[in-house]
């Protein structure tokens, strides 16, 4: 019997067609059907994720074809984010373990940490204490540990299952001596320490937007996405309490997705700085400690 597929090129083409036919939604690491298909095909075949071209005409075994087709069909039929299928996500060259206990990492704060939040943090090497709220998989805490090499990092989440994932990732990067994980509600489990930097990618999706989320996002923990009627329930609490936990020249950085209008409605009287990211200037705000409510 002649198989309908024989090469990497064949299964890649089929995957793109299948994903487009299924009208999948992207945004968990890829932005289009081709990139998603290439990633899933290469991962399933245990090939380097950044080397597609040399393997396009490589012939596949029957078992390899079956494995790839199974992954393609699961992505198309179940609408599961690719990261949950591969159980990994990549941010700025770092690999993180991911599963359904946490949302798929996709924070723009990761971009901003690449230069240590300069110029708002004058010298990243002088930062001694960092706090991440709503840490989930721990990826931003790990990126912060790299960005601020002399800092101890505290990371908090309300979800015990999420912290199990974060614990694994912290261990994978051998950062147990610098990153401490806390289970609890925002600042509640902390012990009165002051931080030079507080970062958070909290639940911020407003109630109307939650109802309209594509199926892929409904595989993620709802508590990590839903931010109440206007998306600001958790953000309000963070802004209200952050001054008590920052050093005098500290900064608070919060990601809010597409909710800038709701942020400005809630905090219009505060001196917010909107930071530039690859998605524009509307996704992350920074506020200096001195400008926060006491």
266-276 pLDDT, tens digit per residue, is 998 898 999 99
Question: Model confidence at 3, in pLDDT bands (50, 70, 90)?
Answer: low
Quick one: 122 and 225 in the same domain? Answer: yes
In a domain, 3, yes or no: no
Report the relative pairing of strands 152-157 and 195-200 from DSSP bridges.
Answer: unpaired
Q: Does position 281 have pLDDT exceeding 80, yes or no?
A: yes
The domain boundary residue, chosen from 86, 117, 150: 86
Q: What's 79's domain CATH number?
A: 1.10.8
**pLDDT tens sequence across 6-43:** 999 999 999 999 999 999 999 888 899 999 999 999 99
Quick one: 123 and 268 in the same domain? Answer: yes
Quick one: 167 and 25 in the same domain? Answer: no
Q: What is the mean pLDDT of residues 208-226?
A: 93
Quick one: 210 and 74 in the same domain? Answer: no
Quick one: 60 and 206 in the same domain? Answer: no
In a domain, 94, yes or no: no
Quick one: 248 and 165 in the same domain? Answer: yes
- Crossing angle between the packed helical segments 8-22 and 33-44, to the nearest 10 degrees: 130
CA distances from 290 to 151, 196, 201, 286 (A): 22, 12, 21, 12
Q: Residue 23 belongs to what domain range?
A: 8-86
Quick one: 125 and 76 in the same domain? Answer: no
pLDDT of residue 79: 96
The domain boundary residue, chosen from 86, 117, 151: 86
Quick one: 47 and 161 in the same domain? Answer: no
pLDDT of residue 269: 86
Quick one: 259 and 113 in the same domain? Answer: yes
Q: What is the mean pLDDT of residues 265-287?
A: 90
Q: What is the DSSP string of the chain?
A: ---S--BHHHHHHHHHHHHHHHT----SS-SSHHHHHHHHHHHHTT--TT--GGGTTPBPPHHHHHHHHHHHHHHHHH---HHHHHTEEEETTEEEE--TTSPPP--THHHHGGGTTTTTSS-GGG--EEEEES-TTSHHHHHHHHHSTT-EEEEEES-HHHHHHHHHHHHHTT-TTTEEEEESSTTTT--S--EEEEEE----B-HHHHHT--GGGGGS-GGGTB--TTS-HHHHHHHHHGGGGEEEEEEEEEE-TT-HHHHHHHHTTS--EEPPBTTBSSSEEEEEGGGS--
- In contact, 8 and 60? CB cutoff 8 Å: yes
Q: Tell me the C-alpha distance between 95 and 132, whole Å.
A: 19
Whether the CA torsion 32, 38, 43, 47 is positive or negative: it is negative
Quick one: 156 and 256 in the same domain? Answer: yes
Percent of the chain with pLDDT over 90: 88
Q: Tell me the C-alpha distance between 194 and 192, whole Å.
A: 7
Who has greater pLDDT, 1 or 275? Answer: 275
In a domain, 97, yes or no: no
Of 15-19, 48-52, 180-184, the poorest mean pLDDT is in 48-52
Q: What is the mean pLDDT of residues 242-261?
A: 94
Quick one: 227 and 125 in the same domain? Answer: yes
Q: What is the mean pLDDT of residues 157-165?
A: 97
In a domain, 98, yes or no: no
In a domain, 173, yes or no: yes
**pLDDT tens sequence across 142-151:** 999 999 999 9
In a domain, 91, yes or no: no
Quick one: 77 and 107 in the same domain? Answer: no
In a domain, 1, yes or no: no
**pLDDT tens sequence across 57-111:** 999 999 999 999 999 999 999 999 999 999 999 999 899 999 999 999 989 999 9
**Total domains in the fold of the chain:** 2
pLDDT of residue 1: 39
């Amino acid at each position: 019997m002649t198989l309908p597929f024989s090469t990497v090129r064949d299964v890649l083409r089929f995957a793109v067609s299948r994903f487009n036919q299924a009208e999948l939604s992207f945004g968990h690491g890829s932005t289009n059907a081709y990139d998603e298909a290439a990633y899933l095909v290469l991962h399933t075949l245990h090939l380097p994720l950044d080397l597609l071209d040399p393997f396009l005409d490589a012939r596949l075994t029957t078992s390899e074809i079956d494995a790839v087709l199974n992954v393609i069909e699961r992505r198309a039929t179940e609408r599961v984010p690719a990261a949950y299928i591969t159980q990994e996500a990549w941010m700025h060259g770092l690999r993180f373990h991911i599963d359904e206990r946490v949302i798929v990492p996709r924070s723009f704060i990761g971009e901003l940490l690449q230069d240590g939040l300069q110029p708002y943090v004058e010298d990243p090497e002088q930062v001694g204490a960092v706090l991440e709220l709503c840490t989930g998989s721990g990826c931003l805490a790990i990126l912060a540990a790299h960005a601020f090499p002399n800092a101890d990092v505290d990371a908090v989440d309300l979800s015990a299952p999420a912290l199990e994932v974060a614990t694994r990732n912290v261990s994978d990067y051998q950062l147990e001596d610098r990153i401490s994980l806390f289970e609890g509600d925002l600042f509640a489990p902390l012990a009165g320490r002051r931080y030079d930097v507080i970062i958070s990618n909290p639940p911020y999706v407003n109630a109307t937007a939650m109802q309209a989320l594509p199926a892929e996002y409904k595989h993620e923990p709802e508590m990590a996405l839903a931010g109440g009627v206007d998306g600001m329930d958790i953000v309000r609490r963070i802004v209200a309490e952050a001054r008590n936990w920052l050093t005098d020249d500290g900064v608070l950085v919060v990601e809010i997705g597409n909710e800038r209008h709701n942020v400005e409605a809630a905090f219009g009287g505060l001196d917010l700085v909107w930071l530039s990211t690859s998605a524009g200037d509307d996704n992350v705000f920074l506020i200096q400690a001195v400008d926060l409510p006491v």
